[in-house]
Structure 1
Amino acid sequence: MHFSPQQAILTLGDPFYDPVAPADFPQTILRFRNDRAAATVGLETLTDAQWIAHFGRFQPFEGSLPRPLALRYHGHQFRSYNPDIGDGRGFLFAQMRDEAGRLMDFGTKGSGQTPYSRFGDGRLTLKGGVREILATEMLQALGVNTSKSFSLIETGEALHRGDEPSPTRSAVLVRLSHSHVRIGVFQRLAYEKDAESMRALVAYVLANLHGSEGGPVELLQGAITRCADLAASYMVAGFVHGVLNTDNINITGESFDYGPWRFTPEWDPGFTAAYFDHAGLYSFGRQPEALYWNVMQLAAALRLVSDEAPLIAALDSFPDAYETALTAAMLRRLGLAPTPLANPAALVLAIDGTLRETKMPIDRFFFESFGGNAPEGPAFDEIRRLIADFVPARTRDHPYWSDAQPCSMHIEEVEAIWSAIDERDDWGPLHDKVAAIRRMGEALA
């Protein structure tokens, strides 16, 4: 396809963002370019020099945004409201259409200070960029609606951080996302009682992102459905985002912004990703609750321009939407389709209970069970009985299913991949892992 630049965000006007200048980095060393994602927006033919000019020096794309924009937003951070945040080390760099006609955004991480940086340096560690690549690639392969790590460029600055050995290497990351708008954007407008801007934002999201018409209730219902699906796909992937604050929840329900993420090795509801999540607010098993709470905050913000009763009625649909999405996500990862005799809800409950009891590694369970199988042993008898009423939706013909081990992404491997880069500047393990993840994605697709 041809690159299709857009400027839709400019219709919202000055109350929503601040024009900013990108940092002038001492170096721009290209470390990762996602040509698979680039092909979806018509940019796969860029030379490396052109790539660096756009994604390391932020040369504008003709017909897209003339200057980067730092979006204004508020947010609940671990359920405490914070009106002093916004795009603090990133910005909206460009907009375009993808091959499906969707409006897409290039957002950055580590691109320099903005009016919302507070005491931060506006930078990103190279390790943080590598971790985001691994998270997004794995989640995409497992069927999670996620932003794409589009570009990673090392920038040649020595950064000091309290949670890793310092000084450490720096980078700038570019994400390809279906929207840079978060729930926190709505919260800021409600906080400031700016009804006119809220109506403009609702219209923008419905017209450009949800592809629908209507008003605040339709917007909320779309967000509920998408966030319920996201919660379900996190669970089936065994993924823990770690920081599900309202400023980290995209209005399109697309997962993004990966900091302390982890994949839980076992089906452990209490497993947490962030060392600072002492209460387990965003633990593995509480992620559906967290996303439900976040759409409640969206509903609260929308009361500025809507009657309350229909918003409450829409919120009541979240539990059923989540259960439906969880069943669909579970069957996708199992490669199964139901027959008239099948009981999908019972199968989901049996898998949940059995994995909790047996502590079988999540990835091993789905690897052995794909296409209508189940692990050996009496603990899995109930799962085998229930699976017999389903039919395979996909085959095990791909060579991946002959591997000795499933493709996983646990913290030990993440650290080993980073150590190769940090100690030997060896990028081979990262690129090999991305290739292995994409191979698994082909087998699951």
Structure 2
Amino acid sequence: MTDLPQASTYRADPAILELGDAFYDPVEAADFPQTILRFRNQRHAEAVGLGDLSDADWLRHFGRFVPLPDNLEQPLALRYHGHQFRVYNPDIGDGRGFLFAQMRDGAGRLLDLGTKGSGQTPYSRFGDGRLTLKGGVREILATEMLEALGVETSKTFSLIETGEALERNDEPSPTRSAVLVRLQHSHIRIGTFQRLAYFEETDNLARLTDYCLRHYYGEEGGAPGRLLDHVSGRAARLAASYIAAGFVHGVLNSDNIAVTAQSFDYGPWRWTPFWDGGFTAAYFDHAGLYAFGRQPEAIHWDIVQLAASLRLIAEAEELTPALEGFPARFQEALRDAIFARLGIARGGDDEDGRLLIALESALARRTVEIDRFFFDWRGGRRRGPSPADAAYEDEAFADFRARIAAFDPLPGATDHDYWSDAAPQSMHIDEVEAIWSRIDEADDWSALDAKVAAVRRMGGAMRAA
């Protein structure tokens, strides 16, 4: 599991300026009627040396977007294209967000502070550049749950209500507005490379490749094959972590895949209650392109688009191994992710594979919810009593019961008192809607605060192993 961030001093590093103005457009933030602080991610603020900011300064920087010291003097809307549901779109880019600042954390990683809902840019087209408060609340819940489950995700850094009434076609309107700031390990996307390839800007493709290898992978030389190999490996782990978490991103377009393969940009996400390969998150995903079980395929397809872009500066022989190796990397990563969530040690490859097949076969019967299953079998031994006890005795679980008995628990796998709770934490749509209803109807934020605390407690239990 990922470790908690460690406190660090503030170290500004606006490295994006190395690329030059062919990659971005300076923009102005919207002038909001109000700035009301609704969420402040203190533990990640401390990780980038901003934990000591007063709330007033927090609002100045992340609601009014006064520049941070020695950082970007003006926000930058990043330029990119992308395939959206497999249709190429050259008319997109940062349409309601921008890159606000870059800095190093305690491990020396280059991190971005980017926005969502911060106003119109040259790429807004017909959009208002705004974010609904509900959308911001949903992003808090998604990122907190994913982080707790060990998924490499952007972090919701700040949410500020902005006092505007927004009209939306897909939810009751008018609705409240907000501006969100996310902390992320790069906002460079596969779509960033696609745009340069579209315009045949080979020099800029090479420059971007070198930038990404140097700042995100610690390599000099700018070899396109090396970059593709890194991105493919991390993307395989991302796809595997989604499956182990039971998470459905909803919109895995090539402009939503970062070059670091860190999950971000949460719109119509869902957690599937059951192991249902056809479960979709987006009501407009009529073909199930980004359904739960098709997410590895979708992410691999996006990696192929990165390879196609890099073909302008590399031979096919240099790029092919990273593409062909994706399925095996995904399978290996899926075993790691499933075993980590179960809290058991890996055995031999054959035994691990057979256990995974037995697990998927049992869960595919949809008699036990995913969160309940991993909670009840934490440490590789059935704990109880559980509402699912009858299902576990069914023939559908016989192979799984027999095989998991041979695996050892990880040290500390069940030491945390979370594993003695009556029920596991989950993030299903009814609970998300209930949390939002209390905010919308009574401005009651207590349910959100309690849920974030409970999810973080689960994350602590997961990390104990």
- Is TM > 0.5 for Structure 1 vs Structure 2? yes
Aligned residue in 2 for 1:289: 297
Deviations 1:343-382 (A, max 9, x none): 1111111111110024310000000011011463133221
C-alpha distance in structure 2 between counterparts of 1:309 and 1:109, whole Å: 39
Given that residues 342 and 386 in structure 1 are in contact (C-alpha distance below 8 angstroms), is that contact kept between their aligned partners in structure 2? no
Q: Are positions 1:28 and 2:28 aligned together?
A: no
Structure 1 segments (4+ residues) deviating >6 Å: none
Could you tell me which amino acid in structure 2 is paired with residue 377 of structure 1?
E
Aligned with residue 414 of structure 1, among 410, 414, 432:
432
Q: Match of 1:165, SS?
A: coil
Give the secondary structure class of the aligned counterpart of 1:76: strand
Match for residue 256 of structure 1?
Answer: 264
The answer to whether structure 1 residue 397 and structure 2 residue 411 are counterparts is no
Match of 2:399 in 1: 382
Whole-angstrom distance in 2 between the partners of 1:212 and 1:370: 39
CA distance in 2, matches of 1:227, 1:7: 26
> What 5-or-longer segments of structure 1 have no aligned partner?
none
Cα deviation, residue 212, structure 1? 2.0
What is the alpha-carbon distance in structure 1 between the residues aligned to residue 224 and residue 24 of structure 2? 22
The AA in structure 1 aligned to 2:407 is: F
Identify which of 118, 129, 145 aligns with 2:136.
129
User: Aligned runs of 1:2-21 on 2, under 5 Å?
Assistant: 2-21=9-28
Match of 1:316 in 2: 324
**What residue in structure 1 maps to residue 92 of structure 2?**
85
Q: Secondary structure at the match of 1:90?
A: coil
Distance 1:358 1:147 in 2: 30
Residue of structure 2 aligned with 1:218, choices 223, 226, 234:
226
Report the equivalent of 1:239.
247
Q: Secondary structure, in 3 states, of the residue corresponding to 1:15?
A: coil
1-structure distance, mates of 2:36, 2:173: 20
How far apart are residue 287 of structure 1 and its match? 0.1
Question: How far has the Cα of 1:406 moved from its partner?
Answer: 0.4
Deviations 1:137-168 (A, max 9, x none): 00000000000000000000000000011000
Rounded Cα–Cα distance in structure 2 between residues aligned with 1:331 and 1:341: 12
C-alpha distance in 2, partners of 1:434/1:106? Answer: 21
Q: How is 1:140-289 mapped onto 2 (pairs within 5 angstroms)? A: 140-214=147-221, 215-289=223-297
Is the partner of 2:333 in helix, strand or coil? helix
Per the alignment, residue 344 of structure 1 pairs with 352
* Deviation string, structure 1 residues 167-211 (Cα, Å, up to 9, x no partner): 000000000000010000000000000000000000000000112
Q: Which residue of 2 aligns with 1:369?
A: 377
Question: Cα gap change, 1:358/1:171 in structure 2, threshold over 3 Å: closer, same or farther?
Answer: closer
Cα drift, residue 62 of structure 1: 1.3
Aligned mates of 1:102, 1:414 — CA distance in 2:
32
1:327 and 2:335 correspond: yes
Residue 386 of structure 1: how far off its partner (Å): 1.5
8 Å CA contact 1:143, 1:233 repeated in 2: yes
RMSD of the TM alignment (CA)?
1.0
Out of 118-127 and 302-311, give the one that drifted further: 302-311
Give me the whole-angstrom Cα distance separating, in 2, the residues matched to 1:296 and 1:395. Answer: 38
Shift of 1:66: 0.8
2:84 corresponds to 1:68 = no
Q: Is the 8 A contact 2:275 2:366 kept in 1?
A: no
- Alpha-carbon offset, residue 64 of structure 1: 1.1
Alpha-carbon distance in 2 for matches of 1:238, 1:366: 11
Does structure 2 conserve the Cα–Cα contact (< 8 Å) formed by 1:334 and 1:366?
yes
Q: CA deviation at 1:395?
A: 2.8
Work out whether residues 244 and 291 of structure 1, in 8 Å CA contact, stay in contact via their aligned partners in 2: yes
AA in 2 matched with 1:408: S
Of the structure 1 ranges 342-351 and 165-174, higher mean CA displacement relative to structure 2 is found in 342-351
Equivalent position SS for 1:104:
strand
Query: Residue 312 of structure 1: CA displacement?
Result: 1.8
Gaps of 5+ in 2: 1-7, 383-388
Query: How far apart, in 1, do the equivalents of 2:217 and 2:191 lie?
Result: 18
Alpha-carbon distance between aligned partners in 2 of 1:428 and 1:89, rounded to the nearest angstrom: 29
Q: Which moved more, 1:178-187 or 1:374-383?
A: 374-383
Secondary structure of 2:213 counterpart = helix
Which residue is 1:430 aligned to? 448
Separation in 2 of the partners of 1:136 and 1:383? Answer: 31
| Letter in structure 2 aligned against 1:11 | E
SS in 1 for 2:380: coil
Question: Matches of 1:113 and 1:7 in 2, distance apart?
Answer: 22
Identity value in percent? 64
1: CA distance, partners of 2:76 / 2:154: 19
Distance 1:433 1:129 in 2: 15
* TM-score normalised per structure 2: 0.94
Displacement of 1:341? 9.0
Contact (CA 8 Å) 2:248, 2:271: kept in 1 or not?
A: yes
Number of aligned residue pairs: give it. Answer: 445
Matched to 1:404, the amino acid is A
Distance 2:9 2:413 in 1: 35
Cα gap change, 1:29/1:180 in structure 2, threshold over 3 Å: closer, same or farther? same
The match for 2:46 among 39, 43, 54 is 39
**1:7 offset after TM fit, Å?**
1.2
SS in 1 for 2:12: strand
Residues 232-253 of structure 1 deviation map (CA, whole Å, 9 limit, x = unaligned): 0000000000000000001001
In structure 2, the residue corresponding to 1:338 is in which secondary structure?
coil
Tell me, in whole angstroms, the C-alpha distance in 2 between the residues paired with 1:426 and 1:111: 24
- 1-structure distance, mates of 2:297, 2:422: 36
**Corresponding position of 2:102:** 95
* 1:342 shift after superposition: 7.1
Secondary structure, aligned partner of 2:230: helix
Structure 2 counterpart of 1:33, which letter? R
